[in-house]
Amino acid sequence: MNLSRRDFMAMMGIAGATGFLSPSAIASSWGSGKDPYEIPEYGNVTLLHITDTHAQLLPVWWREPGTNIGTREQKEWGVTPHMVGDKKLEYYGIKAGTPEGYALSCMDFDTLAHKYGKIGGYAHIATLVKRYREQVGKKAILLDGGDAWQGSATSLWTKAEDMVGAQNLLKEDYFVGHWEFTYGADRVEYLLKHKLKAKFLSQNVFTIPWDEPVFDPYDIREVSGRKVAVIGQSFPFTPIANPAYFVPKWSFGIHPGHMQKMVDECRQKHKADIVLVLSHNGADVDKKMASQVNGIDIILGGHTHEIMGPRPVKINNTLIINTSTNGKFLARFDLDVGKGKLNGWRFNYLPIISNMIPEDQEMADYINKVRAPYAKKLAEPLAVTESLLYRRDNFNGTFDQILCDALREEMDCEAAFSPGFRWGYCKLPGETITMEDVMGQTAITYPQVTVTEYTGAELKNVMEQVADNLFNPNPYYIQGGDMIRVGNIQYTMNPGETIDKRITDLRVGGKMVQANKRYKVAGWGAMQKVEGTPVWDIFAKWLRSKKTVSANPRDLPVLTKNMAGNPGIAFPKEYDL
């Protein structure tokens, strides 16, 4: 097969037509200048962006969500990134069944997974990064949007040091944070000061109570004779979405006013020719911030694990991307930076389809070395799955369904809650779930399982509060997680309503919930310090006892009829629509 640059551009959805590319054809043409990763040089600055790899050193399966609702009340109905499945492919003119269809939508996931293979992996990312660095030389800047330190067993057990090693090998230039902070302020400061070579930037982290900046807000570097400003924005809701006791003396927040001040400072005081924001706000928050703050050329976004594109979204004069998760994409911006302004740009989302990109030997050796002490423990087979297991979805992902089933049965509870995290990779039907996979869904620094007796009113309040973090019409209330996962709890959900009115017909075990009755609910990921068994031990124990598992039945809500036709829902029948 003759793969031209045009094919590649098509693959990325930049041109219209798309062509079929087989992994083997690409592998054989790798580096010949004819493979789809060949990008022509343009301009004088090249940005390479990865984000939210969630500590996945090795390639994994990653399915795009089947449900990612934006409501009319949010003015996000069918607006990027709230499009999924066929709707997303149609909107961007991408053909189903192609590599880009595989990378950008959830349709036929397991079939296409077998065809194209796993995504990500630091050895594959490293190969592509090195190749582009060789191509463009000193024009390249590599930016990591955070959430690199959490999500795997080895990152948890090495307290993120395995990831810092990989980041250093990649020669990352800049970094911001979110889950990084769950290792505690002391550990973060130690790694940033003594281990990580990349520069950590945040304009929105301040000391309590004096409001002094904890980190450098921005950095200015000269590239091709132009001044490039990079402003960092860490996750604004860190002490709300994750336990505040990890960072008791640090305050976060969005701080758009301070962001404006930083942008102005970069432009006026430092004469920056271009201003970039490396952001862990999440897609919706980035869009609103771009509408309020003037003078940002590009926001390189992450957190919500959405792919803003394949083409960047433009709000006022700011280009916004969001570069997925788990190492699925490397984003590349080629910029023509003029005196004080951006003259032109080219953009490519490069899916890290691991079968298409050879491993970088240096990184592969490093990964083997850091994993070696844990390899045996991680390889322990626990059970075989009959279902496709995934987490990322607005409501109960299938992996969370079996996790909730496990919590309920092991803790002898009538119901279970599990956090609406967006990390946690997939397993295909027929695959064996190993200890490593269990850790891939649960590796956090506050893993204790708890049993709580909630009144019916409290149960509803928990669910209403979380739903409001997802569907509030003001993007500055969107914390970036999905709906709380439930076990044996049934409900009707109206995302278009306001807090306390979204959930109706709430049942436990099919019976209507009574406000004053008490319900025994198993859960994990508490916001306060609690005692309890780590969730991975309980999940693993349950899996060993089952041998074969499937995610049936699923505790999905019924969605109200006003959600019919929502482009953020790929499989409406699952919600009785």
Partner 1 sequence: MEQMKRRKFLGVSAVGMAAVAGSGVLVPAIANAANVAGWPAAAFDAKKLDEAMKDSIDTTSVKTSAKVRLTAPTIAENGAAVPVTVDVDHPMTADDYIESVYLYVDHNPTPLASAFHFTPDSGHAYFQERIKMAKTDMVRAVARTNKGVMMSSKPQEIKVTIGGCGG
For partner 1, which residue of 465, 498, 545, 552 counts as binding (CB under 8 A)? Answer: 465
Smallest gap from Cβ 68 to partner 1, in A, equals: 12
> Which of 78-86, 195-203, 240-248, 364-372 is the region at the interface with partner 1 (rule: CB under 8 A)?
240-248
461 is an interface residue for partner 1 by CB under 8 A = yes
Q: Is residue 390 at the binding interface for partner 1, with CB under 8 A as the rule?
A: no
State which residue, 215 or 417, has the beta carbon closest to partner 1: 417
Residue of 8, 237, 519, 575 interacting with partner 1 (CB under 8 A): 237
Instruction: Give the residue among 340, 280, 337 at the shortest CA–CA distance from 480.
Output: 280
Please tell me whether residue 476 binds partner 1 under the rule CB under 8 A. yes
C-alpha distances in Å from residue 56, one per residue of 75, 283, 416, 424: 34, 22, 27, 10
Q: How far is the CB of 333 from partner 1 (least distance, A)?
A: 24
Helix, strand, coil share (%) of the chain residues, nearest 5: 35, 25, 45
Contacts of 480 (CB under 8 A, 6+ apart): 235, 237, 241, 282, 285, 303, 304, 422, 469
Cβ distance to partner 1 smaller for residue 35 or 284 = 284
Binder to partner 1 among 53, 318, 324, 479 (CB under 8 A)? 479
Of 241 and 350, CB closest to partner 1: 241
**Residue 96 · residue 107 · CB < 8 Å:** yes
**Between 54 and 227, CB nearer to partner 1:** 54
Site for partner 1, residues 51 to 90, rule: CB under 8 A:
none
Residue among 5, 25, 26 nearest 124 (CA): 26
Residues 150-209 that bind partner 1 (CB under 8 A): 178, 208-209
Q: Which CB, 336 or 464, lies closer to partner 1?
A: 464
Piece of the chain touching partner 1 by CB under 8 A; list 102-110, 195-203, 297-305, 514-522: 297-305
How far apart (Å, rounded) are the C-alpha atoms in residues 261 and 203? Answer: 10
- Cα separation of 347 and 345, whole Å? 7
Considering the complex, what minimum distance in angstroms separates the CB of residue 78 from partner 1? 22
> Closest distance between partner 1 and the C-beta of residue 480, in Å?
4
User: Which pairing describes strands 206-207 and 250-251: parallel, antiparallel, or unpaired?
Assistant: antiparallel
**533: region left, alpha or beta (phi > 0 left; psi from -120 to 50 alpha):** beta
Toward partner 1, which CB reaches closer, 80 or 251?
A: 251
Determine if 254 is a binding residue for partner 1 (CB under 8 A).
yes
Report if residue 252 touches partner 1, rule: CB under 8 A.
yes
Q: Are 554 and 398 in contact (CB under 8 A)?
A: yes
Using an 8 Å Cβ cutoff, are 397 and 562 in contact? no
Residues 400-459 that bind partner 1 (CB under 8 A): 419-423
Min separation Cβ 239 and partner 1, Å: 5
Residue 305 contacts partner 1 per CB under 8 A = yes
- For position 303 contacting partner 1 by CB under 8 A, the verdict is yes
Between CA 375 and CA 296 the distance in angstroms is: 45
SS (H, E, C) 468-479: HHHHCCCHHHCC
Is 474 a binder of partner 1 (CB under 8 A)? yes
Is the backbone peptide bond immediately before 209 cis, with ω within 30 degrees of 0?
Answer: yes
Q: Give the nearest distance from C-beta 338 to partner 1 in angstroms.
A: 35
Length reported for the chain: 577
Exposure of 453 in the CB half-sphere (CA atoms within 13 A): 3
Applying CB under 8 A, does 480 fall inside the site for partner 1? yes
Q: Measured between alpha carbons, how far is 427 from 438 in angstroms, rounded to an integer?
A: 11
Residue 61 or 417: the one with the smaller Cβ distance to partner 1 is 417
Residues 6+ apart with CB under 8 A from 137: none
Q: How many residues bind partner 1 (CB under 8 A)?
A: 45
The residue within the footprint of partner 1, chosen from 51, 56, 233, 304 (CB under 8 A), is 304
Examine residue 244 and tell whether it contacts partner 1 (CB under 8 A): yes
Report the residue from 213, 253, 338, 572 that binds partner 1 according to the rule CB under 8 A: 253
List the alpha helices (DSSP H) in 119-206.
122-136, 153-157, 161-170, 185-190
Q: Which residues contact 360 (CB under 8 A, 6 or more apart)?
A: 123, 124, 126, 127, 130
- Residues in touch with partner 1 (CB under 8 A): 147, 178, 208-211, 235, 237-242, 244, 251-254, 257, 282, 303-305, 419-423, 461-462, 465-466, 468-469, 474, 476-477, 479-482, 484, 525-527
